[in-house]
Amino acid sequence: MSKIIAICNQKGGVGKTTTSINLGIGLARKNKKVLLVDFDPQGNATQGLGYDADALEKTVTTIIRKMINKDYTFEKDFGILHHEEGIDLLPANIDLAVIETELISLFFGRETILKNYFDRIREEYDYIIIDCMPSLNLITINALVAADQVIIPLHAQYYSVRGLEQLFQTIGSIISNGLNPSLKIAGILYTCVNDRTNSFRGIHNILENAYGQDIHIFKNYIPRSVKAEEAPSYGQSIYTYDQSGKVSMAYRGFTDELILLDEERG
């Protein structure tokens, strides 16, 4: 049975896309069949894997629109690109920005459109990873309703922590109102860490005290590195761009930790 993971935080620039790409390719390197879904009109996951997002005619928007129109005649691999590093990508571009209005205008099932699509294709994959946009709008709600688990990338900074409560409330209401009763938080992943600063330790202690009992905080955190910033402009994962660098090692460790957690949690 495939696992569907939403990489989500409504705060911008916290490493959602970087984590989606490098977790996705990390899993593919372990012989897992992975689909990465770019679910952000910025199209960063699409661009970061080397595609010209604006030139693409078939994207996740095309799929969502077909699902809205109950047009189920498409093939399972419709719109899906095959990246040379071993993952499949359902790309996105700016066209996705208008989809929210189309979803809102639906009388019934506006939150479950992406889930209904995954129900048709999920058996093809071991993992489906959704790179969410920096907003808790209806597009992101579709991702959270479709997911089995959420990973929350976080900058270990004071202002980042404040947004977490709102994200937890949204996840909590998706669980309690029955839209996705089995949704789990896989954990919080620190990204862009400079572990020589006291603030990292300070924020970690605050989070550990506030949430550590209920929410896993990944032991493998991602350090800040210029290489991580450069890799997307080459359309490459960190494993290819900087094979033995610290970010590459960290994403490897994080991928292993996630697989182990999944095995423990069953």
- Where on the chain is the footprint of ligand ATP (CB under 6 A)? 12-18, 40, 42, 44, 134, 191-192, 222, 224-225, 228-229, 232, 247
Spatial distance between the Cα atoms of 42 and 94, rounded to a whole number of angstroms: 6
Could you give the 3-state DSSP secondary structure of residue 186? strand
Record the tokens describing residue 229, joined without a space.
């910033």
Q: In the window 34-53, what residues touch Mg ion (CB under 5 A)?
A: 44
Q: Around Cβ 231, how many Cβ atoms within 10 Å?
A: 24
229 binds, among ligand ATP, Mg ion, none (CB under 5 to 8 A by kind): ligand ATP
> Which of residues 3, 11, 16, 216 is near Mg ion by CB under 5 A?
16
246 touches, from Mg ion, ligand ATP, none (C-beta below 5 to 8 Å by class): none
Rg of the Cα atoms in the chain: 18
Shortest Cβ 177–ligand ATP spacing (Å)? 26
Amino acid letter at 46?
T
By CB under 5 A, residue 237 contacts Mg ion: no
In the bound complex, what is the minimum distance in angstroms from residue 240's beta carbon to Mg ion? 20
Rounded alpha-carbon distances, angstroms, from residue 217 to 52, 148, 151, 152, 188:
35, 18, 10, 9, 5
**Count, residues near Mg ion per rule CB under 5 A:** 3
For residue 16 the two structure tokens come to 């959602």
18 binds, among ligand ATP, Mg ion, none (CB under 5 to 8 A by kind): ligand ATP
Contact set with Mg ion (CB under 5 A): 16-17, 44
